[in-house]
């Protein structure tokens, strides 16, 4: 079987599957990605050139689609190179979010296309308009939001099947497409994230935090409102006052992955740190930067309470990994969390209720024995449903094999 992966930042969500298939002599793999795509053993990678980005002459509603078409043109060249070399895939796994899927059916008309259906934008029940502090929308915003789905809709019309990582994420897609979308998470390495009694997290001053210490963790790709950074920072004055020995580890970059950008060229990190800086002991709050694998896992392994907040949007890998690490989870009571947190394996609080969030974090850190069973159940759920090697990759392989029948 020949499999082609198409993802601008390959391997991304396809990594567990590609890694597992690399040892299968009956499978040949290729991938197409942007310049930041990473090579993997057993996968032939073709990186396309990023297109020119000046779309100032395009109507504002069409600028995103313009950029996606320009990217699709570069992908077309990469696909042509692959086809000329003699590689014709039986199955294509592709993410539709950046226009890369537009030329797939034209170049490889006989291939089965499996679409990674991560999220479908909408004006209700999702991230748009969720947070009144950062209003988005109006008529123009609503139209622009609909147009974000243009290439995804075209990709769905070409696809044979789709796959979403969670039930709620599948539910964001139009109902008539949901029938073709299976729910299969890509999975995590459960052994890699497993609790470590000997774990330690070294602070800049030489102190080393250990499991059992009063450590509060917060992880996001970037520190921004969509992932609840502002809500978390506003809890810190209360938490640190009530837990005088607590240390806070905040893992995340300074950029914006999703949602609105901060005003005046600032960063969300700086804005909300400045808001509370005069009311907290900054020597107890540690920003570690963008998630680095070893440091990220070390933070989870010493965590006494892990806070995860999100608008109704894509569920983060970091939450699944925190649960797999046996963290005590305190999370936002928003739709994506309902797929994984049921009250026995974590605690849900209203996204905007910072007092309730502080109360729950203080309770979890102060009473570790009371929440030991919650930690165990969090890890148990991840082992049962999100173990990449044992559960998720076999599910994905069965889905792919079924498409070939």
- Residue 118: count other Cβ atoms within 10 Å of its Cβ: 21
Q: Does residue 180 share a domain with residue 265?
A: no
Cα torsion 9, 10, 14, 20 to 10°: value is -150
Q: Does residue 313 share a domain with residue 214?
A: yes
Q: Does residue 53 share a domain with residue 202?
A: no
**Nearest C-alpha neighbor of 322 from the set 374, 367, 362:** 374
Segments of the chain scoring below 70 in pLDDT: 137-139
Q: How many residues does the chain have?
A: 405
Q: Does residue 376 share a domain with residue 398?
A: no
The pLDDT of residue 2 is: 98
The pLDDT of residue 139 is: 61
The pLDDT of residue 192 is: 96
Give the whole-angstrom CA distance, residue 139 versus residue 135: 13
Would you say 104 and 7 are in contact if contact means Cβ atoms under 8 Å apart? no
Would you say 339 and 210 are in contact if contact means Cβ atoms under 8 Å apart? no
Phi then psi for 57, rounded to 5 degrees?
Answer: -85, 0
Radius of gyration of the chain (CA): 22
Give the whole-angstrom CA distance, residue 319 versus residue 2: 33
Would you say 298 and 199 are in contact if contact means Cβ atoms under 8 Å apart? yes
Q: In what order do the strands lie in the sheet with 161-164?
A: 43-47, 28-33, 2-6, 91-94, 112-116, 161-164, 181-183
Digit-coded pLDDT (tens) for 295-310: 999 999 999 999 999 9
Residues of 39-56 as b/e, b for ≥16 C-beta within 10 angstroms? Answer: ebeebebbbbeebeeebe
Q: Does residue 271 share a domain with residue 242?
A: yes
Three state DSSP letters for the chain: CEEEEECCCCCHHHHHHHHHHCCCCCCEEEEEECCCCCCCCCEEEEECCCCCCCCCCCCHHHHHHHHHHHHHHHHHHHHHHHHHCCCCCCEEEECCCCCCCCCHHHHCCCCEEEEECCCCCCCCCCCCCCCCCCCCCHHHHHHHHHHCCHHHHHHHHHCCEEEECCHHHHHCCCHHHHCCEEECCCCECHHHHCCCCCCCEECCCCCEECCCCCEEEEEEEECCHHHCHHHHHHHHHHHHHHCCCCEEEEEEECCCCCCCCCHHHCCHHHHHHHHHHHHCCHHHEEEEECCCHHHHHHHHHCCCEEEECCCCCCCCHHHHHHHHCCCCEEEECCHHHHHCCCCCCCEEECCCCHHHHHHHHHHHHHCCHHHHHHHHHHHHHHHHHCEHHHHHHHHHHHHHHHHCC
Q: Does residue 393 share a domain with residue 381?
A: no
Which pair of tokens denotes residue 28?
A: 């040949």
Q: Does residue 149 share a domain with residue 110?
A: yes
Distances, alpha carbon 151 to alpha carbons 14, 147, 392, in Å: 20, 8, 27
Range of the domain at 216: 190-385
Give the whole-angstrom CA distance, residue 137 versus residue 385: 37
Q: Does residue 173 share a domain with residue 213?
A: no
Q: Does residue 164 share a domain with residue 110?
A: yes
Q: Does residue 349 share a domain with residue 212?
A: yes
Which pair of tokens denotes residue 237?
A: 């004055």
The pLDDT of residue 1 is: 96
Q: Does residue 210 share a domain with residue 156?
A: no
Q: Does residue 130 share a domain with residue 59?
A: yes
Q: Are β-strands 28-33 and 208-209 bridged in parallel, bridged antiparallel, or unpaired?
A: unpaired
The pLDDT of residue 69 is: 95
Digit-coded pLDDT (tens) for 189-226: 999 999 999 999 999 999 999 999 999 999 999 999 99
Which pair of tokens denotes residue 78?
A: 């990469």
Would you say 248 and 361 are in contact if contact means Cβ atoms under 8 Å apart? no
Nearest-5° Cα angle at 106, 101 to 111: 80
Domain tally for the chain?
2
The pLDDT of residue 186 is: 97
CATH of the domain at 227: 3.40.50.2000
């Amino acid at each position: 079987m020949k499999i082609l992966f198409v993802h601008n930042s390959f391997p991304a969500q396809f990594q567990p599957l590609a890694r597992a298939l690399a040892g299968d002599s009956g499978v040949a793999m290729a991938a197409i990605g942007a310049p930041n795509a990473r090579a993997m053993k057993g996968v032939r990678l073709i990186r396309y050139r990023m297109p020119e980005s000046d779309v100032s002459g395009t109507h504002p509603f069409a600028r995103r689609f313009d950029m996606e078409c320009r990217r699709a043109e570069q992908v077309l060249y990469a696909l042509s190179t692959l086809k000329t070399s003699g590689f014709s895939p039986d199955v294509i796994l592709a993410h539709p979010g950046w226009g890369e899927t537009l030329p797939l059916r034209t170049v490889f008309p006989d291939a089965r296309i499996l679409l990674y259906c991560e999220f479908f934008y909408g004006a209700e029940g999702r991230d748009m308009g969720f947070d009144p502090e950062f209003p988005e929308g109006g008529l123009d915003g609503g139209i622009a939001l609909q147009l974000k789905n243009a290439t995804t809709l075209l990709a769905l019309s070409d696809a044979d099947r789709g796959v979403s990582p969670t039930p709620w994420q599948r539910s964001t897609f139009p109902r008539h497409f949901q029938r073709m979308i299976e729910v299969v998470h890509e999975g995590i390495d459960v052994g890699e994230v497993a609790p470590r009694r000997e774990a330690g997290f070294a602070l800049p001053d030489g102190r080393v935090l250990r499991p059992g210490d009063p450590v509060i963790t917060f992880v996001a790709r970037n520190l921004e409102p969509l992932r609840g950074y502002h809500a978390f920072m506003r809890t810190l004055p209360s938490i640190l006052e009530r837990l005088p020995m607590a240390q806070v580890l905040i893992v995340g970059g300074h950029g914006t992955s999703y949602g609105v950008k901060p005003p005046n060229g600032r960063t969300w990190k700086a804005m909300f740190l400045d808001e509370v800086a005069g009311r907290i002991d900054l020597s107890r709050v540690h920003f570690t930067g963008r998630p680095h694998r070893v440091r990220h896992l070390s933070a989870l392994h010493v965590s006494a309470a892990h806070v995860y907040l999100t608008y109704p949007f894509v569920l983060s890998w970091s939450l699944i990994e925190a649960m797999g690490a046996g963290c005590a989870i305190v999370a936002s009571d928003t739709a994506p969390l309902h797929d994984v947190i049921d009250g026995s394996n974590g605690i849900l609080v209203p996204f905007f209720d910072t007092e309730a969030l502080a109360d729950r974090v203080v309770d979890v850190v102060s009473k570790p024995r009371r929440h030991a069973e919650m930690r165990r159940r969090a890890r148990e759920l991840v082992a049962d449903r999100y173990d990449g090697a044992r559960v998720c990759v076999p599910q994905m392989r069965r889905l792919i094999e079924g498409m070939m029948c």
